[in-house]
Amino acid sequence: MYEPRLYREIPQNDRFFRLEISYLETDLWIACAPAISEHRLREFVIGTITTLRNDIGEYNRNHREFRDSLSPLPLDPDAPIIIQKMLNAANQANVGPMAAVAGGFAEEIGKRIKTEFYPEELIVENGGDIYIDINQAVLIRVYAGDSPLSNKIALKVSPEYSPLGICTSSGKIGHSQSFGRADAVTIVCKDTAQADAYATAFGNTIQSVDDIDAVIAKTQSIPSIFSALVIVDDKIAVQGKFDIQIIGP
């Protein structure tokens, strides 16, 4: 089911050329600088999406457990790169490999855009999971559904950690499977598939505001997590390398 990405309607400055591309189940928002030919970029991205989806479809035909497993599966050095990224991320976060698919797609599409078009800056957002390659700081708002904090909190992402991934899991919004009740669990890692997998893993463990502190403490013990942010109702906790900024109405 298509869900409008209302957070994409937030006004932006003129720093980036922006483009939305929806193809099959993949829903992308791309921002780059300088501008790229819209026609060429759209064709290239759709071709890349098709390739990645075909890789996953073919792999699943030979590994039936891949698409439905809720637990990590063995690593496979002979698999396509997108599969390897998902398997590795799932093993790191102790979840099924499909928990890393959106983040994996965002990063792989972003890297291929960089190789083909050489943009100086690039952001690829895939249904709320984001790959970022920047040379100036950016503010990334956190969308948390009906929480009063939704779109009011932003992470200030510094370019010295770029490229990186910022991924969010929610137990209340979106079509992705979650066993938790958080409005948003946002994880920042160098690897976007890994950020996606960890966001899912920690999102699964939150049933109420009483779980926030334990989750934040656990994220602090994982060196590959740069930052973590949790929103449940009107409560928020954050840790890591990036400051948060309050965004006005």
189-219: pLDDT as tens digits: 999 999 999 999 999 999 999 999 999 999 9
In a domain, 65, yes or no: yes
Quick one: tokens of 150?
């939704």
Contacts of 40 (CB under 8 A, 6+ apart): 117
Domain count, the chain: 1
Q: What does the DSSP 8-state code read for residue 193?
A: H
pTM of the model: 0.92
- The residues facing 239 across adjacent strands are 228
**Is the peptide bond prior to 34 cis by the omega test (within 30 degrees of 0)?**
yes
In a domain, 175, yes or no: yes
Report how far residue 21's alpha carbon sits from residue 40's, in angstroms, rounded to the nearest whole number.
Answer: 12
N-terminal to C-terminal alpha carbon distance within the chain: 29
Range of the domain at 49: 6-246
Question: CB pairs under 8 A, 24+ apart, for 72-75?
Answer: 72/96, 72/97, 73/97
In a domain, 1, yes or no: no
Proportion of the chain above pLDDT 90, given as a percent: 79
- Which of 241 and 180 is assigned the larger pLDDT? 241
Residue 177 has pLDDT above 90, yes or no: no
In a domain, 102, yes or no: yes
In a domain, 241, yes or no: yes
Note whether 91 and 177 are within 8 A (CB). Answer: no
